């Protein structure tokens, strides 16, 4: 079956964990997936884009690359280009990681073309805020501001992201809504909280949507191999290269807590209220219960600095 599946998410929503669960399916015995040997496509990888377009993406603006990206993704989907880092015998289906918001070229083409569908991972924005603060080495208040910004992008500087094009993330609400409401490809929603509660079952259903037959036993084994404590122990022992460019503190961890409700002891009441005022409508759509009653005067407004 041609094509690939987008694995779309706002940062810190479980994208990496899901890819490690998928990688576990190719292992034997009780071996755990290696976080520093995580094979897979990334939507913004310069290597593939440059090889397909015969252009140096570092010399192009984000608007210029966006106009060319639909054709590049179609080349990948049609098999006209294969990433040399992906073994020929790599397990199907190919998952393409993407943190970008869903958007269109000036001509009306979807930037993220070529896929057969999209697994969209979401996480309670209150948990995302606490996790994003650690990921970006900033305060929780700053993380809340970033999540409210429709102009936010990861990797604007070549120094920190030399191998990756900028990722136009936008706000948490815009990112989630864009992927969930587009009609170009079918969507399978995975809530991080549900994946934590029933890892094997939720993972198996998502892989079935992607076109892969995973038995209950295989799903249970993948969940055991990619347990959070195992992944965190690997990072403690060897670091996590995929994140090293952003890491600013030796104490910071990519695999931080991995809890569904950890925000309850990490955020203040004021911070919770700010998140819910900005993102409450999408939270309601996804079934995330608000801790505070909605204030009609605050809904849809950006938080104060």
Domain range summary for the chain, segments of one domain joined by +: 5-286
**Which two three-digit tokens encode residue 141?**
């208040």
- The pLDDT score that the predictor gives to residue 85 is 62
Fold annotation for 5-286: Rossmann fold (3.40.50)
Contacts of 242 (CB under 8 A, 6+ apart): 16, 35, 36, 38, 254
The string of DSSP codes covering 201-230 is HHHHHHHHHHT----HHHHHHHHHHT-HHH
Are the C-beta atoms of 228 and 258 separated by less than 8 Å? yes
Q: How far is CA 99 from CA 43, 137, 192, 215, 299, in A?
A: 8, 19, 15, 29, 25
The string of DSSP codes covering 67-84 is HHHHHHHHHHHTTS---T
Instruction: List, run by run, the mean pLDDT of 10-residue segments along the chain (305 residues).
Output: 86 90 83 75 89 94 94 90 66 82 95 94 95 88 97 75 87 98 96 95 96 94 85 75 59 65 86 97 96 59 38
Are the C-beta atoms of 119 and 190 separated by less than 8 Å? yes
**Which two three-digit tokens encode residue 215?**
């038995």
Q: Kindly report the pTM of this predicted structure.
A: 0.88
- The pLDDT score that the predictor gives to residue 83 is 72
Contacts of 89 (CB under 8 A, 6+ apart): none
Q: How far is CA 205 from CA 6, 21, 110, 145, in A?
A: 15, 13, 26, 34
Name beta bridge partners: 95: 5
């Amino acid at each position: 079956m041609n094509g690939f599946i987008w694995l779309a998410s706002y940062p810190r929503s479980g994208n990496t964990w899901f890819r490690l669960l998928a990688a576990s399916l190719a292992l034997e015995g009780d071996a755990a997936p290696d976080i520093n040997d995580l094979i897979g496509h990334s939507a913004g990888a310069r290597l593939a884009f440059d090889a397909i377009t015969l252009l140096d993406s570092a010399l192009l603006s984000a608007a210029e690359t966006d106009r060319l990206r639909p054709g590049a993704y179609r080349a990948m989907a049609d098999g006209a280009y294969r990433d040399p880092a992906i073994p020929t015998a790599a397990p199907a289906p190919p998952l393409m990681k993407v943190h970008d918001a869903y958007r269109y070229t000036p001509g009306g083409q979807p930037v993220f073309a070529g896929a057969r569908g999209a697994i969209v991972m979401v996480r309670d924005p209150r948990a995302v805020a606490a996790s994003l603060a650690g990921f970006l080495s900033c305060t929780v208040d700053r993380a809340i501001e970033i999540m409210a910004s429709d102009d936010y992008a990861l990797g604007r500087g070549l120094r920190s992201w030399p191998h990756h094009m900028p990722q136009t993330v936008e706000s948490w609400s815009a990112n989630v809504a864009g992927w969930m409401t587009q009609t170009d490809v079918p969507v399978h929603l995975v809530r991080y909280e549900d994946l934590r509660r029933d890892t094997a079952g939720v993972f198996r259903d998502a892989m079935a949507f992607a076109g892969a037959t995973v038995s209950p036993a295989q799903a249970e084994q993948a969940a055991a191999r990619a347990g959070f404590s195992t992944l965190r122990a690997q990072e403690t022992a060897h670091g996590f290269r995929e994140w090293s460019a952003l890491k600013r503190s030796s104490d910071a961890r990519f695999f931080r807590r991995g809890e569904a409700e950890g925000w309850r002891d990490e955020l203040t009441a004021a911070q919770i209220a700010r998140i819910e005022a900005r993102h409450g409508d999408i939270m309601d759509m996804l079934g995330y219960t608000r801790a505070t009653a909605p204030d009609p005067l605050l809904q849809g407004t950006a938080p104060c600095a």
